[in-house]
Structure 1
Amino acid sequence: MTKIAWVFPGQGSQTQGMGLSLNETVIGKQKFAQAQEILGWSVLEVCEAGDERLSQTIYTQPCLYTVECILVDLQKQEGKQPDLVAGHSLGEYVALYAAGVYDFAQGLQLVKRRAELMSTAQGGKMVALMKFDRDILEGAIASNPDVVIANDNSEGQVVISGKPEAIDQVLEQVQAKKAVELNVSGAFHSPFMASAATEFVQVLDTITFNDATTPIMSNVDPIPSTSAPEIKQRLIAQMTGGVRWREIMLNFPHHGITDVVEVGPGKVLTGLIKRTNKELNLTNISG
């Protein structure tokens, strides 16, 4: 029996021109207009220009959320429904929308505030590592309280986050074949985002979560859940906790998933899944 998971990419998947064709649909027009009212600026304009704004957290996250939510609506308009949803970092907010946890406007308000808090975070550093010895990496991090694995994307790709000097110490020990510093202002998905997380809770407390209509595998806990209180707690933990994407991918077959659809720009998630679960059927929907 076919069981489908919808997955939603996060920051880093944005591309110039993403979502422009969606403005030709009734749903797209309505959502873009609604987003402009909430944000005070045009998602379409930023996506079309493709200038430095599209790479700035404060713009990137609302743009991705809006475009991916429109794609969700268009899929549902065609009668399509997933059996499971998951999103990578920012993409988790779209997963919650797809599962009926909150409406589009409530989700965008959360994303807007999240982006503001993350864009003003200071003093941290994030580095992506490829081709490394995982045992050595985990040992180095275990002995250094100022570094964590922020994104466990696959067996051979992780992002570490923490204090700059501590990151440099870990890099010396691990000697990864490739290490790329990310263009971010803070140590996202780490305990160093605690103050931002505290502020974010104030916004979360104003929004009532519904039980999910579709089970959600969250970044901080890959066990599927439909419980509104549990989903909200997991979302709070996401800002300071790591993205356990490798475990999410590995768990798909255990939940009977046969097909995975990446809903959003790019093919980052399906690329990771293809290298991890070769037996899954993969599809991309970006426009």
Structure 2
Amino acid sequence: MTKTAWVFPGQGSQEVGMGVDFAQHPDAQTKFEQAEAILGWSILDIVQGEASQLSQTLYTQPCLYVVESILVDFLRQTHPQPDLVAGHSLGEYVALYAAGVFDFATGLQLVKRRAELMDSAAGGKMAALIGFDREQLEQAIQQTEGVVLANDNSSAQVVISGTPEAVEAVLGQIKVKRAVPLSVSGAFHSPFMAIAATEFAQELAKIEFQTAKMPVLSNVEPNPTTDANLLKERLNQQMTGSVRWREICLNLAELGVEKVVEVGPGKVLTGLVKRTCPNLALENISSISL
């Protein structure tokens, strides 16, 4: 049997209308109703509304978690269980749900609090860089206080995060084919999220994690584990730690994965996997035929 990994996209992959095509399925309806009771607002209203609202962190993260988790529920009925799972930033919460580390409601409660804390962060800046010299970039970051490599997505695409001054200083020191400022409220995945991370840790401490049913590759430590305490510790570090997606892709190949299935809207992650590991088979699942 083909060794398969399911991967789950995070903020930036959201699409207006995502999840609407299966919203009338009874199982999906139950999840949407459960989500509204937890959040105090309707996922379906937001995903069918304005793109600008859906793109606000406060709404983006819960919407992605709910839609992707419902897709997981459907896939459990129609596909073999994956051999490994991983998620990009917010997507790691769906990976943990898929692995049975916590139930749907517990995960959504954590995501809700995470989104609130990250949405309230202010004063930072993030920029995506495409086409650059990695050695030159790493040297510039090392020499510039107040900026870090937040997302190591592939050899040719990363995100830096920090103070606006520090981010601009790095951009002024390197040659880059394209630099795209991200529309975010703060310097996510950097030490500047420490206050939010401390508050979130209090919420996380209340939750009991279960041993994962299949290995999970975490953002801050891309080596697979099923250990509940270790997965919790890694998640606790995620808000201030870097997303090491390029290493996750390399490890999937080293672990013998032959096929990667991106579960959720868009094709961002399969695009990154293809760049890093071109020999892996790829599949995208953003909806389910009812």
What TM-score bracket applies, with the shorter chain setting the length?
Answer: over 0.9
Shift of 1:284: 0.4
- Counterpart CA distance in 2 for 1:54 and 1:110 is 19
Within 5 A, what are the aligned runs for 1:184-263?
Answer: 184-263=184-263
> TM-score scaled to structure 2, two decimals?
0.97
SS across alignment from 2:179? strand
Letter in 1 for 2:14: Q
Q: 1:55 maps to what in 2? A: 55
Letter in 2 for 1:121: A
- Counterpart CA distance in 2 for 1:163 and 1:126 is 8
SS across alignment from 2:132? coil
Letter in 2 for 1:100: G
Question: Could you tell me whether the CA contact under 8 Å between 1:22 and 1:70 is conserved in 2?
Answer: no
Cα 1:79–1:274, aligned 2, differ >3 Å: closer, same or farther? closer
Q: 1:156 maps to what in 2? A: 156
Q: 1:38 maps to what in 2? A: 38
For structure 1, the residue ranges without an aligned partner over 5 or more in a row are none
Residues 19-78 of structure 1: per-residue CA shift (max 9 Å, x gap): 001212222111001000000000011111134210100000000000000000000022
Q: Which moved more, 1:46-55 or 1:9-18?
A: 46-55
Q: 2:127 maps to what in 1? A: 127
Q: Which moved more, 1:109-118 or 1:168-177?
A: 168-177
SS across alignment from 2:151? strand
Question: Could you tell me whether the CA contact under 8 Å between 1:147 and 1:163 is conserved in 2?
Answer: yes
Is 1:109 the equivalent of 2:109?
yes
Letter in 1 for 2:270: T
SS across alignment from 2:23? helix
Shift of 1:177: 1.3
Letter in 1 for 2:249: M
Q: Which moved more, 1:230-239 or 1:47-56?
A: 47-56
Shift of 1:175: 2.3
Shift of 1:79: 4.6
Is 1:3 the equivalent of 2:16?
no
SS across alignment from 1:131? strand
Is 1:13 the equivalent of 2:2?
no
Letter in 2 for 1:265: P
Letter in 2 for 1:38: I
For structure 2, the residue ranges without an aligned partner over 5 or more in a row are none
- Counterpart CA distance in 2 for 1:80 and 1:70 is 16
Question: Could you tell me whether the CA contact under 8 Å between 1:101 and 1:209 is conserved in 2?
Answer: yes
- Counterpart CA distance in 1 for 2:252 and 2:94 is 19
- Counterpart CA distance in 2 for 1:206 and 1:30 is 25
Is 1:137 the equivalent of 2:140?
no
Question: Could you tell me whether the CA contact under 8 Å between 1:17 and 1:50 is conserved in 2?
Answer: no
Question: Could you tell me whether the CA contact under 8 Å between 1:16 and 1:48 is conserved in 2?
Answer: yes
Which of structure 1's runs of 4+ aligned residues deviate more than 3 A? none
Is 1:273 the equivalent of 2:269?
no
Shift of 1:202: 0.9
- Counterpart CA distance in 1 for 2:80 and 2:45 is 29
Residues 80-138 of structure 1: per-residue CA shift (max 9 Å, x gap): 21000000000000000000000000000000000000001011100000011100000
Shift of 1:236: 0.7
Letter in 2 for 1:272: L
- Counterpart CA distance in 1 for 2:268 and 2:78 is 25
Letter in 1 for 2:146: D
Cα 1:273–1:79, aligned 2, differ >3 Å: closer, same or farther? closer
- Counterpart CA distance in 2 for 1:214 and 1:26 is 27
Letter in 2 for 1:146: G
Question: Could you tell me whether the CA contact under 8 Å between 1:15 and 1:50 is conserved in 2?
Answer: no
